[in-house]
Amino acid sequence: MAWEIIAEVIVRALVEGAAYSLLAVGLTLIFGAMRVLNIAHGDLAVLGAYICYWLLVIFHIDVFIGLLFVVPLMFLIGWGVQKFIINPAVSIPQFQVQASYIITYGLALFISNQELIAWTADYRSLTVAYSYLSISVLGVTINAPRLAVLSVTVIVSALYMLFLRTRLGRAIRACTQDREAALLMGINFNKLAGFTFGISAATAAVGGMLFALTYTLYPAVGLQLTIKAVTVMIFGGIGSVGGALAAGLLLGITEALVTFVVGATYKDLVAFMLLVIILLIRPTGIVRKEFFLPK
């Protein structure tokens, strides 16, 4: 009985970690390729989740089917944000990172407050027909939404790995490694930037929907998601998609085991201690070997 309970703890930790991984992947992609820290990342995730929510409530469209509409929409929104808001703000390279903090923070405030005005501060749950359906495998019980979170994360991760091997994906990886050299090789950075931001926003929307499916949704939660995603991004190595995926899962398991063994009060303490230790021992993150900061 006890080992089954511990196994359940680990499985649920993987689910929590998976949701954070998904959020961190998009963030690390754009920071690696574009040197832009998108503080509005969590709020874009929340926006995607809200669209899924209203599709469910008004049109009774299942959240996963709703993603077929939300993902392209959020891609377009992300592309538009990069083209019309980020791009003009980060035109001077030596101030790019600082400018990106300020402009994306403003964007985060704008999105969350528009959500507040439009949809009030009421807490929302993505409650679907199978929200309380549970499956038992080898004595470990997991409910359908959590299983869906794990499955979607695996699928999206696989898609990411495939994508990074495409021409466009290789271009993004090149920009992550050395943007100047990539530009010299003829990569059109402006087109790339819009596309990268679009992918990031689309991935964020998926992560946001999965988060709302498992927990709850309200306008102010976006910044908390961003903080979590940034932590996972740093932990995994800036610019490393694989690192973000691994780091999210590792962080989720660590937090769960600490809570189970020591107590919930120490959860955040241990998580951040782990982050500090990793940064001291391996500042480039648990996966990535080196990261070149812009001069």
Partner 1 sequence: MSEVEKAKITRRKYLKYGGAVVAVGVAAAAGYGIYEATKPPVKKEIVIGGTLPLTGICAMDGQRILRATELAVNRINEEGGVLGKKLRLIVYDDTMAAEKIGPLYEKLIATDKVDILITPYGAPMAFPALTVCEKYDKIMIAGFVASTSPAQRFGGKNGFFAHCMPRPTYSSFYYSIFTDMLNDFDKWNYKKEFTLDKTVASINENQLWGIEQHEIWKPMAEKQGWNMVLDEFVDITAVEFSSTLAKIKLTKPFLILAEFFFFRCVILLKQMIEQGVSAPFVVLGEAGTSYDWIDPEKGVGPVGNGIFTINLFPKDYRGGDSEYLRAKYKELYGTIPSAHEVTGYSSIEIIRDAVEKAGSLESDALRKVLLTEEFDTCFTRVKFDKEGCNTLWEPTAGQWQNNVIETVWPPKRATAKPIYPYSP
Q: Which is nearer to partner 1, 9 or 164 (CB)?
A: 9
Closest distance of CB 49 from partner 1, Å: 13
Closest distance of CB 98 from partner 1, Å: 24
Q: Which is nearer to partner 1, 158 or 220 (CB)?
A: 220
Contacts of residue 74, defined as CB under 8 A and 6 or more positions apart, other chains included, come to 44, 47, 48, 51, 198, 201, 202, 204, 205
Q: Which is nearer to partner 1, 154 or 227 (CB)?
A: 227
Q: How far is CA 77 from CA 70, 83, 175, 195, in A?
A: 10, 10, 22, 11
Give the Cα separation of 106 and 98 in Å (integer): 13
Task: Tokens for 152, please give them.
Answer: 């979607």
Task: Tokens for 286, please give them.
Answer: 């648990």
Q: Applying CB under 8 A, which residues contact partner 1?
A: 1-2, 5-6, 8-9, 12-13, 16, 57, 113, 116, 120-125, 127, 131-132, 134, 141, 143, 146, 215-216, 218-220, 224, 255-257, 259-260, 263-265, 267-268
Closest distance of CB 215 from partner 1, Å: 4
Count of CB atoms situated within 10 Å of the CB of 61: 17
Q: Which is nearer to partner 1, 4 or 180 (CB)?
A: 4
Q: Which residues pair with 137 in a beta bridge?
A: 140
Closest distance of CB 192 from partner 1, Å: 35
